[in-house]
Structures are given as structure tokens and as C-alpha cells.
Amino acid sequence: MISKNCSIDEFVESVKGKSPWEVIALAIEEATLADRMVYRYGGQRKSQRYSQRLKRIIGLLRYETKPKRHNDKIHQLYTTHWATGSHLPS
């Protein structure tokens, strides 16, 4: 796992400078590992929340979805690091 502590900030820090496609691939892999931790170790809340946050980043990168709350931490991370207009081909 990229973030052994299930920290979204740690994940974002480690994928800075990578293309959106690379970030999506790494986030999918990381979310899968976090989900496995939930099932292996009996529903650890921290890894479950981490997985949900990674999936939100994937959604933002793939579809440029708009959050209901613009003060949302995940949306702020996305706009800070990847929101540069149309970054994925149609």
C-alpha cells in the first residue's frame, strides 16, 4: 500500500506530478487493498473511510463530478492537484 496509515493526504503527496491516468490506476489498486483490509480484519473504520475517499478521487478524475459541498476535503485536494480543465480525452 502507498499509505500504510490509510491517510488520503499521504496518498496524494505520493502521487503528485503523475498523470491523471496513473493516479486513477494507483487509487484503484489502493482502494482495493483498503477494502481487503476491511474484510480481513473485521471492518476497520479507518481503512473503510480511506477506501471511500480514494473512490471519490477516482470519480472526480474520471468524470469531473461536482460535490454537493464545495468545502469538502476530497474536492479541495482534487482542485489543488488535478483540476486543470479537461485532462482526460473524450
Break the chain into its structural domains and give their ranges: 8-81
Of residues 37 and 67, the one with the higher pLDDT is 37
**Do residues 50 and 7 touch, judged by C-beta distance below 8 A?**
yes
CA distance 89 to 77: 21
Residue 89 has a pLDDT of 42
Burial 19-48 (b: 16+ CB within 10 A, else e): ebeebbebbeebbebbbebbeeeeeeeebb
| Cα Rg of the chain, angstroms | 13
Question: What are the counts of helices (DSSP H) followed by strands (DSSP E) for the chain?
Answer: 4, 0
pLDDT per residue over 44-75, tens digit each?
788 889 999 999 999 888 887 666 666 678 87
**Is 0.85 surpassed by the pTM of this model?**
no
